[in-house]
Amino acid sequence: MKRFLLLFTVLVGFSLMSVNAQTYKINRLNYDYRMYVPEFGDPYDPTLMGVCSFFIPGLGQMISGEVGRGLSFLGGYVATVLVTGFSTVLIEYGEPYIVTLVGLAGALGFAITSTIDAVKVAKVNNLYIRDYRKSNALHLEFAPYIGQFNTGNQIVTPVGMSICISF
């Protein structure tokens, strides 16, 4: 039990270390997960989040900064597993095989749905974080300058360096 509590505390702690991300509920209105192309520096790997959520439903969402969303998937999964566990107790007293099948199907459904959702959450939050970093960064761009202009009877070729500052 102590190990479970320690693991749970560590998982929630890691999930709270998000990178200034808004909630997925807001981000999904502005970003389409289908437009995501992986880039170096993305904080959340969608594949890893999907694998995590398949084995522990909701873990990928928690790591991506969506703790409440992840806990709801984890709670649903635990509830279906408990239904399956209680139905095995009822088997001794009758024929509730249908409850066991429904519980197992529900658990598998939560695992698959959680996996798909974790991938979408990671992609959308990565897109938001990219825009956040771009909008809050100071950009300096230096470029060589070579130009020509006519000053009456003579062509002048100035050479220099131009600087572009955007923030």
| Structure confidence at residue 95 as a pLDDT band (50, 70, 90) | low
What span, in angstroms and rounded, lies between the C-alpha atoms of 84 and 81? 5
Q: For position 151, what pLDDT does the model report?
A: 78
Beta strands in 51-120 (DSSP E): none
pTM (2 decimals)?
0.65
Residue with tokens 């761009």, as numbered in its chain: 141
Cα(46)–Cα(62) distance, rounded to whole angstroms? 13
C-alpha dihedral (128, 133, 134, 139), degrees to nearest 10: 180
Angle between helices 46-55 and 97-135 (to 10 degrees): 160
Q: What is the mean pLDDT of residues 64-75?
A: 89
pLDDT of residue 167: 64
Confidence of residue 8 (pLDDT cuts 50, 70, 90): low
Angle 137-22-114 from CA coordinates, rounded to 5°: 130
Question: What is the CA angle 59-61-65, rounded to 5?
Answer: 115
Q: What is the pLDDT of residues 103-139, one digit of tens each?
A: 888 889 989 999 999 999 999 888 888 888 777 666 6
